[in-house]
């Protein structure tokens, strides 16, 4: 929504306060990055969790930079160029590849866990169906050279979204905490990161 010049809440309203939006994006980026680095330091003894934390860091970086860039372009030109801004997602794509490496190692070591096995089967099936659907839409919408680009973009988006949800469920299964309620010693870190990452939602 932000790359299209629209407010996430509500999505039909155009963005009109770029300075405020820059503040939200920058604040979310800084806080999210600091908390993620702190988490990486705490996880340094297990390389799998370190890679997953790095993955989440790239998510914070992507969202923050994308939001700030959109607001800067909006301030200069009056309307953001979504095609230019959306390429920041490449940072998250790299982070996803690295994070899934660590996640795969955890899955291999705990394959007997019922939640992990079920999660892999469900998300594997959903990913195949979603990717086939994305390529089908691309094939039906375009008969030109842009077809492959559209299909690749849809596939990347689908896999990126599913990968984030997939990792959450796998980690929840490993922790035996499907609700995702943080322990008392992690609650401040958890809710701080949760809030920081969602600041751009309130762009106006």
Tell me phi and psi for residue 6, to 5 degrees: -115, 150
Which pLDDT belongs to residue 8? 87
pTM above 0.85? no
Which pLDDT belongs to residue 189? 84
Which pLDDT belongs to residue 170? 93
Q: Which of 22, 29, 35 is nearest to 193 (CA)?
A: 35
Which pLDDT belongs to residue 179? 83
d(CA 193, CA 180): 14
What are the 10-residue block averages of pLDDT along the chain, 204 residues in total? 83 87 93 88 87 90 90 80 77 91 93 91 86 70 58 72 89 87 82 89 89
Question: Could you tell me the residue range of the domain that residue 176 belongs to?
Answer: 2-202
Which pLDDT belongs to residue 80? 63
Q: Tell me how many domains the chain contains.
A: 1
d(CA 61, CA 59): 5
Tell me phi and psi for residue 178, to 5 degrees: -70, -25
Instruction: Assess contact for 137 and 80: CB atoms under 8 A.
Output: no
């Amino acid at each position: 929504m932000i790359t299209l010049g629209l407010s996430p809440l509500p999505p039909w309203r155009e963005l009109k306060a770029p300075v405020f939006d820059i503040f939200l994006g920058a604040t979310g980026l800084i806080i999210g990055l600091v908390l993620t680095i702190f988490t990486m330091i705490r996880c340094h003894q297990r390389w799998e969790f370190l890679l997953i934390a790095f993955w989440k860091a790239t998510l914070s970086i992507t969202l923050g930079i994308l939001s700030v860039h959109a607001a800067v372009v909006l301030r200069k030109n009056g309307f953001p160029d979504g095609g230019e801004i959306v390429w920041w997602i490449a940072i998250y794509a790299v982070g996803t590849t690295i994070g899934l490496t660590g996640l795969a190692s955890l899955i291999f070591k705990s394959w007997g866990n019922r939640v992990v096995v079920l999660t892999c089967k469900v998300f594997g099936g959903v990913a195949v169906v979603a990717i086939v659907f994305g390529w089908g839409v691309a094939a039906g919408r375009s008969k030109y050279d842009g077809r492959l680009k559209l299909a690749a973009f849809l596939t990347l988006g689908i896999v990126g979204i599913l990968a984030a949800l997939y990792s959450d469920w796998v980690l929840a299964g490993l922790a035996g905490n499907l609700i995702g309620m943080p322990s008392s010693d992690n609650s401040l870190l958890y809710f701080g990161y949760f809030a920081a990452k969602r600041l751009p939602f309130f762009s106006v």
